Structure 1
């Protein structure tokens, strides 16, 4: 493959407080240095490096241009880091000689630098290593690309960003760039998030900051805009006249599993609902953007968040599974929710009166993430089939990615009897042999391309925290208590009661079964 085919095009509109720059058809040139900070941690080993490997394996990272640097406090050698990463890239299931050879080639691109996260010496050494790579690739000073992935706790973001800004930026603007990727959680409430945004914003322009929420990289989440705005079928139905309620659900069938101390700092609302599920809500509820430019899409998402009414106490159910406090890292008096059902109401013309039910929990009876759009009852039910359930459009995000529409149809036979069935698009069956990319692969590639569509903008982050901060403070202050529930259950019974009050009608006697290949 010639070097020109490796070059990616950057199509983005960059906005800052004082300057608007339209960058279109600008070829990405110069060598690419990807720096994984926190390289010895679990996130880097389990997600970041495997995503980079898959991009390399599929030809999106040119070995003639890219070099990958790991940076962490741990004092290990290049080979030590490569050895630690290898086990997450290859195992007994995929240990073909071809893959093993590809892994070896990828690992040769990986170099390690040791240093603390507030050390001038460490980041000066890192800059020296990056610069040597750039010189080796014959890059003109300032024309190279530098991507810093912060696989780190948010507490060290300010010091790390300060070190990068002072010691590791491109020295001039000759077509190159410096970008940083920061992981959630972005603060713990509105005040801390704004403080963090201000600290990072003083060092980098907004177009350089990529706040990653991996849910926005999931295949079915990426499909939402296409479904809504490229299909005539949904245009007249997607509003309060036809939709009764919307559920966005995240369920896990396991508990905190050794992460109790970390989880107890945040809880299920900060960990899942305020970011992942709220991002999905924006894509379900937003108006059609005027174009597919990242800023136009993010403008519409912000409008949705700004239209959300304050959460009512009576439309919240919190739970904590029995045994959660047995974890020695969890305080015995902890009120941290491991389950929450929250109803959000959007005050605009399209969605007035439609409850958006966000539900997430650990140690439940199943593992899945899905969007469930429930339509209103058919007026004049001549078939007397209302008890069987309503029409629902379900988007299964994970596992067994699928989209299906629940319909009432005639039961085959001589009698006129009805039954619930579905129109089913199951990805594993329809797209056999097509590998669905991991969310991190897509989002890292978007960062390299300069496409911020699937990343969280600062005003979007602020609007999200404004919705949930009052509720979170009430929980932290003990004003709202968690209800106990048994592991392996649906969660507190009060949550199902809340759904019924909101208008959700549960389907009985019907279970969607993913088709077997």
Structure 2
């Protein structure tokens, strides 16, 4: 069968049965995938449906209107400072209706159940309240666990990428801290080998200049014994000056966070510094409170950056910008129009490379209460006062505080067949390699809408998606006819993509309905140059945000407390772990969570 493309001029209006600027186009390549034409607002939108013959555009548009019920008012997608661009990104200043004042607001609720178009930017776009470019202050980065896997794969390559882009301070040093002994030159060679394995390649950037700024402090770092760190820091400060800022980056196991925090205080490394904690920040409400009490005792909150790197995926940031920059999208972002919200992180890999860690943690603690809760809160949050770092973090935290306590009956845990045969996994392990749950957000915008979260290993495909499943028509000729629901979906894989699925009339004498998908790739835009259009990896964003003091991509303490509180009941009454076949979407009970609907990925 050949697809029938419909081409709509950018900004074309579909409302009240009228379509402006619609013209049929000749048949194109087969398939239902397509791309929006160029820039923030493309010159055209092309929708291909799995159809067979030519048919009048008027009939198709009527079907779109009756089934999708969406007004298309143009599309614009924001970028939070692309990797090669200088200055702040194109985010607009959002001034919604009723809201709590200021970035410190604990609750942000809509003024009514059905938000109007005022939910999106009603005023001309302004730059958000954030620093442009990078800090000019001399900075010493201390990476604790510098020879570990996290540092080799993600943290060190991100530093080199920032150097390649010219986004590090003019004067800086990177000090690797570890228990072993290495000379500065040996550490430089260690990082060179890491870049050659994971990229960017040393030959792709200023390696010689970069490597001269690398130092190593062995002997470990504890409250009783700082090892070589104080001496190496003194060396770096002597080179850079007394005004040097220190950034502590804890790329170490979470169990070492508490003792390392105490060591900062013991050795006078707190004043004027910043500290970055990897996830998980605690493993339960009790351990969270214990760790945070010590962190708050030692540091001021403004000094603390708690990572959840999924918040820094560019496609995850696009969820925010697409929602608030496009009135038609903002208008459907509520319980009147949305039947379900789904957050899916699926992997085909097993856990062979990290079996001992994973068996002690499991999918729920590793993914659901951390990454997926934060992603769900990004969807659920109320429009912030602006897109500045304080406001975004506060809006996300407020959404997490609206999460209802998780009911163990609405959680499914699974373990793929063959898991216990992996080296390092006990034969009798009951660790979950898949977790899925139904979360409820008790506020006026989302009351009654299930948020379905799922993550697992050895699943049917590698996918990372945030999807809004829209409601079926409730009036008109298609009401109650079982029309397949329209969807708005963001793919987080690679550079990301924005997909909109709508129902149209099937061409031909027999007629009927067919569903097609329009896709906007988010990894490049025409006319912006090869560097500025190139997506940056999450850790590149995160490290630069630490430099500028921008906390928008980091988790807030109140949101983390709310997340751990939400799962307390579940933690005391975990359901039985169910088996599932490798290469599937999990146990049958997972599908029951989505009833009477179904998972977007299936």
Instruction: Report the TM range for the smaller structure's normalisation.
Output: 0.7 to 0.9
CA–CA distance in 2 between the matches of 1:228 and 1:197?
33
Matched residue, 2:334: 239
Could you say if the C-alpha distance between residues 472 and 331 of structure 1 is closer, same or farther in structure 2, counting changes exceeding 3 Å? farther
Task: Trace 1:123-142 onto structure 2 (pairs within 5 A).
Answer: 125-137=228-240, 139=241, 141=242
- Map Cα deviations across residues 273-315 of structure 1 (whole Å, 9 max, x no partner): 1111111111101111122233322222222222222222332
Paired with 2:346 and 2:403, the residues of 1 have a C-alpha distance of 24
Alignment correspondent of 2:166: 59
2:191 aligned to which of 85, 106, 118? 85
Equivalent of residue 68 in structure 1, options 174, 177, 180:
174
Query: How far did 1:411 drift?
Result: 3.5
* 1:36 Cα offset (Å): 0.6
1:40 aligns with 2:143: no
The answer for the alignment partner of 2:213 in structure 1 is 109
1:463 paired with 2:562, answer yes
Q: Deviations along 1:253-282, whole A, 9 cap, x unmatched?
A: 011113121111111111011111111111
Shift of 1:222: 1.2
Supply the distance in 2 between the matched residues of 1:114 and 1:400 (Cα, whole angstroms). Answer: 38
**Aligned pair in 2 of structure 1 residues 461, 487: CA closer, same or farther (>3 Å)?**
same
Contact 2:472-2:485 at 8 Å conserved across structures = yes
In the alignment, which residue of structure 2 is the partner of 1:512?
none
Shift of 1:210: 0.6
Q: Which residue of the other structure, out of 371, 379, 402, is the alignment partner of 1:276?
A: 371
Change (3 A) 1:316 1:507: closer
User: Which one is further off, 201-210 or 441-450?
Assistant: 201-210
Q: Tell me what 1:288 maps to.
A: 383
Which has more helix, going by share of residues?
A: 1
Q: How does 1:285-364 map to 2 (within 5 A)?
A: 285-364=380-459
Please state if 1:167 is matched with 2:278.
no
Give me the whole-angstrom Cα distance separating, in 1, the residues matched to 2:362 and 2:197. 33
SS at match of 2:326: coil
Whether the aligned pair in 2 keeps the contact of 1:14 and 1:207 (CA below 8 Å) is no
What displacement does 1:418 show? Answer: 2.7
Q: Distance in 2 between matches of 1:328 and 1:93?
A: 29
Match of 1:146 among 206, 226, 246: 246
1:202-281 map, 5 Å? 202-281=297-376
**CA deviation after TM superposition for structure 1 residue 453, in Å:** 1.5
Q: Quick one: structure 1 residues 384 and 296, their matched pair in 2 at CA, closer, same or farther if it must change by over 3 Å?
A: closer
2:330 alignment partner, SS class = coil
2:273 aligned counterpart, secondary structure: strand
Choose from 532, 538, 541 the match for 1:442: 541
Shift of residue 472, structure 1, vs aligned partner: 2.5
Deviations 1:183-223 (A, max 9, x none): 11112110011111112221111111111110111001112
Q: Deviations over 1:433-483 (max 9, x none)?
A: 4221010110110001011111112111110100113212323xxxx2100
Pair 1:485-2:485 in alignment: no
**Structure 1 residues 165 and 392, CA gap change in structure 2 (3 angstroms):** same
Instruction: Tell me the SS of whatever aligns to 1:314.
Output: helix
Q: Shift in Å at residue 408 of structure 1?
A: 1.1
- Are the aligned partners of 1:252 and 1:368 in contact in 2 as well (CA < 8 Å)? yes
Aligned to 2:573: 474
CA distance in structure 2 between the aligned counterparts of 1:381 and 1:252, rounded to whole angstroms: 41
State the Cα distance separating 1:399 from its structure 2 match: 3.7
SS at match of 1:394: strand
Work out whether residues 317 and 341 of structure 1, in 8 Å CA contact, stay in contact via their aligned partners in 2. Answer: yes
**Deviations for 1:335-359, whole angstroms, at most 9, x for unmatched residues?**
2211111000111111111000011
**Secondary structure of 1:223's match?**
helix
Distance 1:313 1:39 in 2: 39
Is 1:504 matched with 2:560? no
- CA gap of 1:324–1:161, structure 2 versus 1, over 3 A, is same
- 1:50 corresponds in structure 2 to 157
Q: Separation in 1 of the partners of 2:199 and 2:408?
A: 49
Distance 1:310 1:132 in 2: 51
Gaps of 5+ in 2: 1-85, 89-101, 105-128
In structure 2, what is the equivalent of residue 514 of structure 1?
none
Structure 1: give runs of 5+ residues left out of the alignment: 1-6, 16-22, 172-176, 509-517
State the TM-score, normalizing by the size of structure 2: 0.74
**Counterpart secondary structure, 1:131:** helix
Three-state SS of the structure 1 residue aligned to 2:517 is strand
CA contact (8 A) 1:325 1:334 kept: yes
Instruction: Describe the superposition over 1:476-505 as per-residue Cα deviations: whole angstroms up to 9, x where unpaired.
Output: xxxx2100011111111111122124x337
Counterparts of 1:92 and 1:204, CA distance in 2 = 34
Q: State how far apart, in whole Å, the 1-side matches of 2:504 and 2:588 are.
A: 31
With CA pairs under 8 Å and 6+ residues apart, which has the higher RCO, 1 or 2? 2
Asked if 1 retains the 8 angstrom alpha-carbon contact of 2:488 and 2:500, the reply is: yes
